[in-house]
Amino acid sequence: MLPENPLAGDRPAGLSRTIPRQSRLAMATRGAFVVASSAAYLLPAAAGAAVLRPLRGRTAAARFFYRRLVRHLQRLGPAPVKFGQIMGTRRDLLPPLLCDELGRLHDRVRPMSGRQVRRALREAYGPDVTRHFTEVEATARASGSIAGVYRAVRPDGREVALKLQRPGIRRRMVLDLALIHGAAALAEKLPPGRGVPLAELTGFVCAAVLGQLDFAGERANLAELRRNFAESDNVWIPATLPELCRPNCLAMEFIPDLVARPVAEIDPARRPRLAARTVSAVYQMLFLDGFVHCDLHPGNVYFKGPRVVVLDAGFSIRLDPTVRRQFADFFLGLALGRGRQCGEVVVDSAVRVAPDADVEGFIGRVAELVKRNTGVPAKEFQLTRFGTELFTLQRDFGLYAASEFVFPLLSLLVIEGTVRDLDPDIDFQAAARPMLLRAAAETAHLAPQRRAG
């Protein structure tokens, strides 16, 4: 049985879900299949990596194994794929090469078959689908591990986008998430995992994945994002159509010609503006609104004319006011070169500190890291590199930040590649200062809570 998640009651809005309990027989049967298929697929992959290592080096061997591991996740189904997508952002806990390979899961998901689409439509709207739509395109406009997006036409001629959940996905995903969480809770008790908050981390990730099955919750997330950006002409969040929404179908306004284009196809004169608007939107979510879209990979961010289009808000969280203050303090310290302040914020946000952790040593190393990255030319500062070094320090010193603190930060790291492609010279630190100063003023009443000892 899945152990109770002790943090479930403390999660931000949108992630306060627990995974329904599953029968012992169902978990044992699924677990036996996962173990057997993983052994059959991954043991030969490990042997191949061992042969490859002396011939082509450690990096090539690791990449060989990680690619086969990612392929196996795809074979296991949507829950492992979604879990892999999210874990691919955790460079503090996983090797960077593995994170690179897990990142491929965002855009390599097979669309539903025509039969599955028809079944999903029947489950959503009953046998008389034509009463609601005169046309539903058979080809998906976008395809993910949980759902596909299809263009449809209403009887009055208006176009809509239907996000259809894959039929039968819920039961399998809940079962797999229960297995993942249970395995993490067990691993945390074994010597290699002692001191690492694996249950806390996987509980957060599993709640995030389970939340993406909740289309009513995603509809509420989209509505909140639209309210937050209502006065912005630079960000487009699609409006939902409540009268057409169903538990397994999210109906939204259709945004025409919304296709992923290489940066090379965007007018060079527009690229810096789009980059600045993208960064500004993320900073607004992080520092001002406290409601953050945490899944800003390229499949969820598009550019249409002068605006940034943000889709798929299933994985969004509301930051606790104290966490939002910590975010502002950390980034303000980074922008102003206050390294010790940054180190103290990370310590304050830690969900677990090893008993023998050298806290002062950690703060000193963070201060050194900030000093090396303050005042450098914008082109040379990379958030991903900075974040990876910071996460490595946390792992080395035995300090683990709470997922509520880390995942919103990773939303910015995930978007960095897209932004850099648009404008290699963008100054992330300078762009943050105006919102950071405003956020610091708005949250000044929240006194920092220093950790005892």
Per-residue pLDDT at 96 exceeds 60: yes
Local confidence band at 17 (pLDDT 50, 70, 90 cut-offs): low
Take residue 126 and report the two structure tokens written for it.
């009953």
% of the chain beyond a pLDDT of 90: 37
Local confidence band at 49 (pLDDT 50, 70, 90 cut-offs): very high
Summarised one tens digit per residue, pLDDT across range 364-413 is 999 999 999 887 777 788 888 888 888 889 888 988 877 777 777 777 87
pLDDT score at 196 = 67
% of the chain beyond a pLDDT of 70: 89
Per-residue pLDDT at 135 exceeds 70: yes
Per-residue pLDDT at 290 exceeds 70: yes
pLDDT score at 159 = 96
Per-residue pLDDT at 256 exceeds 60: yes
Summarised one tens digit per residue, pLDDT across range 224-248 is 999 999 999 999 999 999 999 999 9
C-alpha neighbours within 13 Å on the C-beta side of residue 396: 11
Summarised one tens digit per residue, pLDDT across range 182-225 is 888 887 777 766 666 677 777 877 888 888 899 999 999 999 99
Query: Could you tell me the residue ranges of all domains in the chain?
Result: 259-453
Distance CA(69)–CA(209), nearest Å, equals 20
Take residue 35 and report the two structure tokens written for it.
């173990």
pLDDT score at 15 = 43
Per-residue pLDDT at 10 exceeds 90: no
Local confidence band at 179 (pLDDT 50, 70, 90 cut-offs): confident
Local confidence band at 446 (pLDDT 50, 70, 90 cut-offs): low
Choose from 175-184, 231-240, 295-304 the range with maximum mean pLDDT.
Answer: 231-240
- Lowest mean pLDDT across 13-22, 23-32, 188-197, 388-397: 13-22
Local confidence band at 5 (pLDDT 50, 70, 90 cut-offs): very low
* Nearest Cα residue to 286 out of 253, 256, 316, 241: 316
Query: Mean of the pLDDT values across residues 300-306?
Result: 89
pLDDT score at 65 = 94
SS (H, E, C) the chain: CCCCCCCHHHCCCCCCCCCCCCCHHHHHHHHHHHHHHHHHHHHHHHHHHHHHHHHHCHHHHHHHHHHHHHHHHHHHCHHHHHHHHHHCCCCCCCCHHHHHHHHHHHHCCCCCCHHHHHHHHHHHHCCCHHHCCCEECCCCCEECCCEEEEEEECCCCCEEEEEEECCCHHHHHHHHHHHHHHHHHHHCCCHHHCCCCHHHHHHHHHHHHHHCCCHHHHHHHHHHHHHHCCCCCCEECCCECHHHCECCEEEEECCCCCCCCCHHHCCCCCHHHHHHHHHHHHHHHHHHHCEEECCCCHHHEEEECCEEEECCCCCEEECCHHHHHHHHHHHHHHHHCCHHHHHHHHHHHEEEECCCCCHHHHHHHHHHHHHHHCCCCHHHCCHHHHHHHHHHHHHHHCEEECHHHHHHHHHHHHHHHHHHHHCCCCCHHHHHHHHHHHHHHHCCCCCCCCCCC
Measure Cα distances from 265 to 249, 255, 303, 421 in Å: 33, 19, 11, 12
The one-letter amino acid at 450: R
Query: Mean of the pLDDT values across residues 325-333?
Result: 87
pLDDT score at 218 = 95
Query: Mean of the pLDDT values across residues 17-40?
Result: 81
Query: Mean of the pLDDT values across residues 410-435?
Result: 85
Higher pLDDT, 108 or 447: 108
Element (H, E) at 64: helix 58-76
Distance CA(299)–CA(104), nearest Å, equals 11
pTM, whole model, 2 decimals?
A: 0.81
Are 61 and 128 in contact by the 8 Å Cβ rule? The answer is: no
Query: For residues 244, 249, 251 and 257, what is the CA-based torsion angle, rounded to 10 degrees?
Result: -150
Per-residue pLDDT at 149 exceeds 80: yes
Residue 401's φ and ψ, nearest 5 degrees, are -70, 150
Take residue 213 and report the two structure tokens written for it.
């099955």
Distance CA(345)–CA(323), nearest Å, equals 10
Nearby residues of 86 by Cβ (< 8 Å), 6 or more positions away: 205, 208, 209, 295, 315, 407
Query: Mean of the pLDDT values across residues 276-301?
Result: 90
Per-residue pLDDT at 433 exceeds 90: no
